[in-house]
Amino acid sequence: MTGRFRAATAAVVLVATGALAGCGGGFSSAPPSPPSNAVRTYVALGDEFTAAPGSADATDDSGCQRSASNYPALLGKALHVTHVKDVSCTGATTGSLTSDQRPTKGKPAVPPQFDALAKDTDLVTMGIGIEDHDLVRHVLQICLALPCGDNVPPQTIIGDVSTMATALTAAVRVVQDRAPDSYIVLVGYPTIVPDTGTCRDLPKLTQDARDAANRVLDEINRDIASAARETGAGFLDVAQLSRGHELCSRDPWIEATRADDGSFAYRPAAAEQRAVAEALASLVRNR
């Protein structure tokens, strides 16, 4: 790749992601208020970064692979919640909030995650979106040179991030309608890719591709934060919380598994789930 083309391509990513950061309409003028009373009913919505498969024994046989020590379980204990409804599911997208999801081959479909909501729900956490359009995999397959082959051009990923952000904002509005008295917190995603260096848990990436992947991951989190501001929900910046714990670090909060086809899948480690639970508990208690 020539320096001129590389610079131009990087500029496309930066300009487009910068434009996305400003989308989403007007923001609420006042920050959301955590629940004033003790949390009685807590509903956790999310994907594998909430379900945390592999960090402990699964709590059910649905195929969603929810851990018994994921952050919803830990948060429920920390806040002494009477009823915890964790319907997070590995592989869930924003579409899984309103439609059935078949999490694992051979397992029956699980109902829409929104079915867990009720008028008396006090607290809702939402950690979802990065599986939309397979974003979590595609950010590590960004094509920075032509021809792309099987890789994904940055313009496609940027469009998919924007679509995800729109769907997430609409989803928060639905939660507000179904659980009007609930305090809603959008949970961002941890830092995955190191700024420099590599290890066996990462696919082979050039520095340019690594930088582009981090920019897109940053944009995903910015758009989640934007959705929170627009709807008056809370937001937990897990990317900032997890700095220094990326893949290839001495204490990674992300675990990688490699499939037979050479692709990678990522999931949060137990330490990450503990940190998220502690940060959420502090956020909810901060009255």
Kindly state which CATH superfamily the domain 3-17+38-285 is placed in: SGNH hydrolase (3.40.50.1110)
Q: What pLDDT is recorded for position 179?
A: 97
The ranges of the chain with pLDDT < 70 are 1-37, 55-61, 146, 259-263, 287
What is the Cα gyration radius of the chain?
A: 19
Q: What pLDDT is recorded for position 21?
A: 38
Domain limits of the chain? 3-17+38-285
Question: 284: closest CA among 235, 240, 232?
Answer: 235
Rounded (10°) CA dihedral 17, 165, 189, 200: -60
Q: What pLDDT is recorded for position 197?
A: 85
Q: What are phi and psi of 190, to 5 degrees?
A: -70, 160
Q: What pLDDT is recorded for position 225?
A: 98
- Give this prediction's pTM: 0.84
Decide if 127 contacts 50 (C-beta within 8 A).
Answer: yes
